[in-house]
Amino acid sequence: MSFVRAIAGRYVAGETPEEALVVVKELNKKGFSATLDILGEHTKTAEAAVAITDQYAGLYEEIKKQGLDCNLSIKPTHIGLDIGENCVSENLMKLLKKAAKTDNFLRIDMEDSTLTDQTIELWNHCQMDYLKVGIVFQAYLYRTENDLKNLIKNSGANFRLCKGIYQESPDIAIQGRRKINSNFLKLLRFAFEYKIYVGIATHDLEILGNSYAMIAELNIPSNMFEFQVLYGVPMSGWLEKHLENGYKVRIYVPYGKDWYEYSMRRLKENPNIAGYILKDLFRR
Ligand code: FDA
């Protein structure tokens, strides 16, 4: 447990909103934008879903009060999707109202493939009320190409492109880094060519190199994309390089009591991290 806590220290911005907002302030000072995520998913009761929604709503107020450059990322199942459409819709509407009041943006994260259709529907529904709301598409899903085609007629669409983190069957999802990377770049090109605002969310240096080449080749203005990374993932100087080039960098900052599960997920993604933590512990 204490070992995982050491890992959490790297990837999680504390357990409380106050701690997370301090981290956001520090990131802003360095020139980075942020998006806050309260850790957790698959909330079991309507009361708990409302409590999470209220915590998110409170974050919008604090962000505004402190003048931070930070939006919010939410998971539909965290604010009630498993409980029912009414529950999640009501909570989303509450958040959109608060986002509008504080002139901020809401990102709807994408969960596993059983929820893709519902998540897109929720997003479409949200856009009828408030335009500053975005979605996430996963490059490993075969369907994503079609989902992006539907965005062509959706002026003002804003999506985050990531590889996808869930275990999905080969029937619906591309397997293997090489092929996923190639689809990621194909989808990115599509977004650029159709002038759809895209958050390029990856730590993969090969994709970053190729994105730079594509931006130059297609002469994409820097207000049509941003780079996004998870808080704590080492990026070999790329974040500073993005800033030097005048590109926006948004850091996904998770916080909350569910740090154990999140840190275990990061550890599975990159077991080398265990080595770095051990080295740090011995250095101390
Ligand atoms: P890949 O996994 O191939 O990693 C590339 C390199 O980065 C490797 O060398 C790897 O070791 C290193 N690396 C990756 N993760 C690391 C870590 N945690 N610590 C240290 N090194 C690491 N997924 C999803 O399904 N729905 C979503 O809504 C989101 N949202 C999201 C937001 C943001 C801002 C990011 C960056 C990512 C997501 N993801 C996500 C997760 C995403 O789908 C993917 O699983 C991870 O980003 C890892 O994929 P990479 O593109 O980084 O490549």
Please report the pLDDT score of residue 284 as a whole number: 44
- Mean pLDDT (whole number) for 110-131: 94
CATH number at residue 204: 3.20.20.220
pLDDT value at 281 more than 60: no
**Ligand 1 pocket, CB under 6 A:** 109-110, 136, 138, 160, 162-166, 177, 201-204, 228-230, 233, 252, 266, 269-270, 273
In a domain, 128, yes or no: yes
Q: Is 79 a domain residue?
A: yes
In a domain, 2, yes or no: no
Q: Which among 5, 10, 54, 160 is annotated as catalytic?
A: 160
pLDDT at position 243: 98
Please state the domain count of the chain.
Answer: 1
Rounded distance from Cα 203 to ligand 1 centre (Å): 6
Determine contact, residues 55/71, Cβ cutoff 8 Å: no
Is residue 85 one of the residues assigned to a domain?
yes
Q: Is residue 32 part of a domain?
A: yes
Neighbours of 160 (CB within 10 A): 24
In our burial notation (b when 16+ CB lie closer than 10 A, e otherwise), range 25-53 reads eebbeeebbbbbbbbbbebeeeeebbebb
pLDDT in tens, 145-179: 999 999 988 888 999 999 999 989 999 999 999 99
User: Does any domain span residue 10?
Assistant: no
Average pLDDT estimate for 193-221: 97
- Backbone phi, psi, residue 75, to 5°: -105, 125
Residue 283 lies in a domain: no
Mean pLDDT estimate for the chain: 93
In-domain check, residue 143: yes
Expressed as residue numbers, the domain containing 208 is: 15-258
Q: How far is the CA of 157 from the centre of ligand 1 (A)?
A: 23
Per residue in 226-267, pLDDT tens?
999 999 998 999 999 999 999 999 999 999 988 888 778 777
pLDDT band of 282, cuts 50, 70, 90: low
Average pLDDT over residues 27-31: 98
Alpha carbon of 266 to ligand 1 centroid (Å): 9
